[in-house]
A and B are shown apart, each in its own frame.
Chain A
Amino acid sequence: EPEVTQTPSHQVTQMGQEVILRCVPISNHLYFYWYRQILGQKVEFLVSFYNNEISEKSEIFDDQFSVERPDGSNFTLKIRSTKLEDSAMYFCASRTGALTDTQYFGPGTRLTVL
């Protein structure tokens, strides 16, 4: 069964450093998402991406964040200058083009900012 994959599973970085989190969505999916989950809290929407552009973003997704689909398979989230409060699990999700379709989530990348 196809699934969303994410790398790395755990990323440790120093405050102020740039990080890139990578995702490979399910191959026939057209909509891509990033969510984050701070330890012990609920999952929060960050950004949605369709047709090579951001379709929606939350207030969390400020100028320090960017997303890119550099090729036909990868979808990345970049944080330019990490802060301590960026420490969280970051989940990638994807779905087909049908509005009725469910989003399928990857296993997540745990980001630890020191």
Chain B
Amino acid sequence: GESVGLHLPTLSVQEGDNSIINCAYSNSASDYFIWYKQESGKGPQFIIDIRSNMDKRQGQRVTVLLNKTVKHLSLQIAATQPGDSAVYFCAERRSSASKIIFGSGTRLSIRP
């Protein structure tokens, strides 16, 4: 079967520190991975993506790392801010398919 799962359901981080959210996937056919942020009452918001031919991609304050050997994906948020509080989902897609398969989500909370 295929599944995308998250190691931790909740993560509490001190404001200003870096956050690392982890995700495991089991479908080796997946070749495209996405991180979404979902704030309360809103739809998933695209953060960053990475293709399977890469192992790292950086955006503004965010970095995604992909380790295909152990089927592991992580999202790093630098200098975490209160506005980063949300549920973060990793998701995967195979290039031959169109649907996105979401993981179960990690809630990130920020301590002042």
Contacts and interface: CB of A to CB of B under 8 A. Distances in A.
A4 B105 CA distance: 22
B101 interface: yes
Contact of A104 (B46, B101, B104): B46
Interface residues of A, number: 25
Contacts of A56: 97-99
Interface residues of B, number: 23
Nearest to B105: A42
Contact of B43 (A45, A91, A100): A91
A42 B44 CA distance: 11
B98 A42 contact: no
Given A42-B89, A91-B44, A105-B43, A33 B99 contact: yes
B67 interface: no
A48 B34 contact: no
B99 A48 contact: yes
B4 to A, nearest CB: 9
Interface string A94-107: 00000110111111
A57 to B, nearest CB: 9
A14 interface: no
